[in-house]
Amino acid sequence: MKEKILEKATNLFLTLGFKSITMDDLAHELGISKKTIYTHFENKTKLVEECTQFLFQSIACGIDSIRESQKNPIEELYEIKKFVMIHLKDEKSSPQYQLQKYYPKIFKSIRQKQFAVMQSCVIENLERGLKQDIYRKNINVDFVSRIYFSGMTSIKDDDLFPIAKFPRALLMDDYLEYHLRGIITPKGRKILNEIINSNQS
């Protein structure tokens, strides 16, 4: 039952926002009593904390399996982006903003974990791209990995990039292309253009 509550709550939080969903809403959606939810989660804050952990673990595992498939580094980034977008439900409700505003401690903790995972993932991606001659030899790997994380988190800022003007899927595509165009070699550019053209067709 706990896993069922976690899955449903995570889905609702991502779709409608962490603040918007009440324990009553969740109980109603699951067709159970609030008391049943409270036997597994002492309060809403604990539920939000476990939901963010649950989502983080799901995404981290998915990213690991994409990395294990050893695609070329440019293709790998697009596969990860596609996978993350599916798991984050296209983020129509700006859940990150609500999490940061109403649950700042949880937000800070999950952001640190995201940085650790993304940093190692992007550094490994950059190093493979350098070996395969698709990323430029003179890039500063540590700087690029950090600026990539910074940009990825910034584009989720609804004040900077309002969803009405910047649909999340297009914004992610634009940011990924922006990131790659700054670091690719002519060989890498050929791969990137093929991916962009195949995504548009």
DSSP state of 140: -
Q: What is the pLDDT along the chain (201 residues), one digit of tens a residue?
A: 999 999 999 999 988 889 889 999 999 999 999 999 999 999 999 999 999 999 999 999 999 999 999 899 999 999 999 998 887 765 555 677 888 889 999 999 999 999 999 999 999 999 999 999 999 999 999 999 999 999 998 998 888 998 889 988 889 999 999 999 999 999 999 999 999 999 776
Check if the beta carbon of residue 23 is closer than 8 Å to that of residue 45. Answer: no
Phi and psi angles of residue 103, each rounded to the nearest 5 degrees, phi first: -135, 65
Question: What local confidence, expressed as pLDDT, does residue 201 receive?
Answer: 61
pTM exceeds 0.95? no
What would the two tokens of residue 53 be? 């952990």
Give the position of tokens 């309060």.
43
Question: What local confidence, expressed as pLDDT, does residue 167 receive?
Answer: 87
What would the two tokens of residue 73 be? 């580094």
CATH architecture of the domain with range 44-200: Orthogonal Bundle (1.10)
pLDDT digits (tens, 9 = 90+) for 38-74: 999 999 999 999 999 999 999 999 999 999 998 999 9
Question: What local confidence, expressed as pLDDT, does residue 164 receive?
Answer: 87
pLDDT digits (tens, 9 = 90+) for 164-175: 899 888 899 999
